[in-house]
Amino acid sequence: MKNTLLCLSAITALATPSPHAGAQTASGNNPGSEHNGSCSGERQRPTAGTYSRLIAYCESEFNDTAFVVRDSTFYVYSGSRGYDANNAMWRFDNATVQNYVPSMATFFNQEYQVEHFDAADNDTFLVYQDWFSGSLANSAAKLYHYNSARYIDTTIGLGWNSGTGMWVNSFKNILVFGPSNNVLQQAELSWNVASGTWDNYQMLYYSYNAAGDLTVSTTLAWNSVTAGWDSIARSVYTYDGAHDQLSRTDQINNSTPCIWYNTFMNVNTGFTGTNPLLRTTMHWNNGTSTYDSVRRWHYTYNSHNQVLTYSSESYGGTSWAPTALDYTGRYYYELYTSAVNTTMASEGNANVYPSPATDEVTIVASWAEAQPFTVTISDADGRMLRRWNENATRQYSKTLSVRGMPAGIYFVKIAGTQGEIVKQIVVSGK
């Protein structure tokens, strides 16, 4: 098919094919994105084995007569990185998003994404950059913090201030986990520039059945007038005996006391494993008190339970057909071998302070046994700024000047024969 050939030719044109990370979600059942190419049945870290990872994605949009290629994304990995089932996201080195211009039959770069990893190979910093006139400019970023079970419990969103050349706070998500590592609560906060503090924005609560399936998610919005939380929306999920998600009913509340009103329902049918082959979206009709069909999505999967293709069509009252709001998508994967991570520092620790820094920083490190090592300082875009070697030692301390360094986030990596340690610092500049 023409669209598929265009995607394949775009992949071939890249020297190194690449993957993209999906968004963090509240539960392993992943009620969020329907089209993230995720592998629902695989926990790819740290068990050794052969797995499948996303290397490219291409989407087409219906333009009244036919589906036309809209955009493509390509992902690059190193080593045994792949899908992180704990946090429902792809662990890639970088990704390139391209827009297709039909009149020129050409893809143009739109966005570049770079992941940064710590010594335990957790992705801790994701940078988004936009293409302008053939060059990259910082746009947004996410900082991730992990709990002891390697689940992301805090995400901080940053925006790039081109005037000051610094990252500025935008939003913060804080997750609270239960004993089975299901998310029980999610707090969403927004940054108040005027006060320099985090303000309440939304709160989400999650409920599960005895089998651990997500059954209800409730969204509350912060009311600054009453200084309290107002219930505004909820989703109710149903399952069959095999834990296949049969439906999700979305409801809103716009009254006091709380009365829930139906809005949409998604119904899944025709399962392969726990993956639906068909998802139908229906809108609540207040006049007839019934659901009217709106759109449906068809899916195919590979042998690793990853989405291979999807296509949508709209209901016109008597029949289904694609319209201007419908899409098709195709995912491309590669097999890779995952091994147990060996880069974690062996009985070692390090610290870099102060952070934020204006004049100088001090790097301290220690190990159980003496070892030679290399220190590397890189910026948020992955560019190496400084690198030097040190002789074998068990205790290390060095103070460096950061005067003249642009304000921003930097990474200090200490790599020795027993492993490596990565620390993040912020330089505020002067």
pLDDT at 410: 78
Is residue 355 pLDDT above 80, yes or no? no
Query: Using 50, 70 and 90 to split pLDDT, how confident is the model at 41?
Result: very low
DSSP category for residue 379: E
Sign of CA dihedral 346, 155, 91, 78: negative
Q: What φ, ψ does residue 412 adopt, rounded to 5°?
A: -110, 115
Q: Distance between CA atoms of 41 and 188, rounded to whole angstroms?
A: 29
Query: Using 50, 70 and 90 to split pLDDT, how confident is the model at 33?
Result: very low
Task: State pLDDT tens for residues 208-265.
Answer: 999 899 999 999 999 999 999 999 999 999 999 989 999 999 999 987 778 999 999 9
The two tokens of residue 192 are 């108040």
Q: Distance between CA atoms of 202 and 26, rounded to whole angstroms?
A: 14
C-beta of residue 365 within 8 angstroms of C-beta of residue 396: yes
Task: State pLDDT tens for residues 107-161.
Answer: 899 999 999 998 788 899 999 999 988 889 999 999 999 998 889 999 999 999 9
Task: State pLDDT tens for residues 19-32.
Answer: 223 333 333 333 23
Q: What is the mean pLDDT of the chain?
A: 83
Each as own residue / partner, the long-range contacts of residues 7-12 (CB below 8 Å, 24 or more positions apart, any chain) are 7/56, 7/58, 7/69, 7/72, 7/330, 7/332, 10/56, 10/58, 10/72, 10/74, 10/98, 10/107, 11/55, 11/56, 11/74, 11/332
Q: What is the CATH number of domain 349-427?
A: 2.60.40.2550
Q: What φ, ψ does residue 399 adopt, rounded to 5°?
A: -110, 130
| Among candidate residues 47, 110, 32, the one with its CA nearest the CA of residue 74 | 110
Task: State pLDDT tens for residues 179-211.
Answer: 888 999 999 999 999 999 999 999 999 999 998
Cβ neighbourhood burial of 299 (10 Å; 0-12, 13-18, 19+): buried
Task: State pLDDT tens for residues 259-301.
Answer: 999 999 999 999 998 899 999 999 999 999 999 999 999 999 9
Distances (CA, A) of 61 to 96, 112, 297, 319, 330: 20, 22, 14, 20, 12
The two tokens of residue 46 are 């740290």
Task: State pLDDT tens for residues 311-352.
Answer: 999 999 999 999 998 999 999 999 887 654 434 444 567 888
Q: Distance between CA atoms of 314 and 195, rounded to whole angstroms?
A: 47
Contacts of 281 (CB under 8 A, 6+ apart): 264, 265, 266, 293, 294, 295, 296, 297
Query: Using 50, 70 and 90 to split pLDDT, how confident is the model at 48?
Result: low
| Among candidate residues 13, 3, 1, the one with its CA nearest the CA of residue 60 | 3
Question: Which part of the chain is CATH 2.60.40.2550?
Answer: 349-427
pLDDT at 96: 94
Q: What is the pTM of this model?
A: 0.72
pLDDT at 28: 34
